[in-house]
């Protein structure tokens, strides 16, 4: 008998069915056969509390939830019970007032909850082995690149202080003067910048967060020109002259170095695949009748 129960509990379709039923709330356990909205009794016991904890955490592991509950202090248990009762009372009142009718937000929440359940279903063949991770790595090598970086200095001319036209004109004048000055590496008359003046081996993400996307893209396209300054480049704050000191295009990460990221990405894709497979299985249970006009539009 225990073997039968164990096999049933490992069966993904059974798990999906039970988890899907839980989406309709704890009321099915609290007052079976009664109108949930009308019932004025909220029953709380260990099983119902464990169900609530798992729904709240979106993690369906009864043994883990039970262990966590046993380790909670009396005050923490009291708080959990209070939260469960509060949620159930609010839920029933919402049903009584008809707030669930034609509510798109609630509709989306139900869909999202079902998607979470599908993603969290245990994989039938267990966690991926090393060979699976290596195959995934080889199929997605473009993801695992040591980020490119750039080292540069810049001189800032503030649009807030001089206006956009004025800042651009000052930057252009300063560029001509500094490049005509031989080995001079600092630009006179520049304004104080919010962040740094010199950036050493900074990634595109850092540059974009400080200056904006357009500035970052144009800067990363520049090549070092020794002591010469380039620009002006427009950022979200004004105009800049830049002196590119060095660039590192990045390099592919070996599997050993990228393994943690590979495992995380493989797990994410596996969850998405389970979600889509579950949705496809549900859709297959329906007859979908698409209006002929829409079919024509779809065929274009």
**Model pTM greater than 0.85?**
no
Closest CA relative to residue 51, chosen from 84, 82, 100, 73: 84
Whole-number pLDDT of residue 123: 60
Beta bridge partner(s), residue 233: 240
Could you tell me the mean pLDDT of each successive run of 10 residues in the chain, 300 residues long?
44 48 43 53 84 78 83 87 84 78 78 74 72 92 87 95 95 90 68 92 93 94 91 95 91 90 91 84 80 76
CATH code for the structural domain at 145-251: 3.10.50.40
Contact between 187 and 241 under an 8 Å Cβ cutoff? The reply is yes
Whole-number pLDDT of residue 64: 82
Whole-number pLDDT of residue 44: 85
Closest CA relative to residue 243, chosen from 192, 191, 193, 184: 184
Whole-number pLDDT of residue 95: 78
- Domain locations in the chain? 2-119, 130-142+254-299, 145-251
Whole-number pLDDT of residue 121: 63
Count the neighbouring beta carbons within 10 Å of the beta carbon of residue 232. 22
Whole-number pLDDT of residue 118: 74
For residue 230, the surrounding DSSP H or E stretch is strand 230-234
């Amino acid at each position: 008998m225990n073997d039968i129960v164990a096999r049933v509990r490992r069966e993904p379709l059974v798990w999906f069915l039970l988890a899907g039923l839980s989406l309709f709330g704890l009321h099915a356990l609290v007052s079976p056969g009664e109108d949930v909205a009308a019932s004025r009794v909220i029953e709380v016991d260990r099983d119902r509390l464990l169900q609530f904890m798992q729904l709240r955490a979106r993690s369906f592991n009864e043994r883990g939830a039970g262990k966590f509950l046993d380790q909670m202090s009396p005050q923490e248990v009291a708080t959990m019970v209070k939260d469960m009762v509060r949620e159930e009372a609010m839920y029933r009142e919402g049903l009584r007032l008809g707030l669930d009718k034609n509510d798109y937000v609630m509709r989306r929440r139900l869909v999202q909850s079902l998607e979470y359940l599908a993603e969290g279903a245990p994989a039938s063949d267990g966690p991926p082995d090393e060979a699976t991770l290596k195959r995934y790595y080889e199929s997605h090598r473009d993801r695992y690149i040591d980020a490119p970086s750039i080292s540069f200095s810049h001189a800032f001319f503030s649009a807030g202080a001089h206006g956009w036209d004025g800042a651009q004109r000052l930057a252009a004048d300063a560029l001509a003067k500094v490049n005509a000055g031989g080995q001079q590496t600092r630009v006179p008359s520049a304004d104080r910048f919010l962040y740094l003046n010199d950036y050493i081996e900074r990634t595109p993400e850092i540059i974009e967060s400080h200056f904006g996307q357009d500035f970052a893209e144009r800067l990363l396209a520049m090549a070092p020109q020794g002591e010469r300054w380039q620009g002006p480049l427009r950022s979200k704050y004004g105009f800049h002259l830049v002196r590119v000191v060095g660039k590192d295009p990045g390099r592919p990460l070996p599997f050993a170095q990228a393994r943690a990221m590979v495992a995380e990405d493989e797990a994410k894709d596996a969850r998405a695949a389970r979600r889509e497979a579950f949705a496809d299985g549900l859709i297959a249970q329906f007859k979908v009748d698409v209006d002929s006009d829409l079919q024509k539009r779809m065929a274009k």
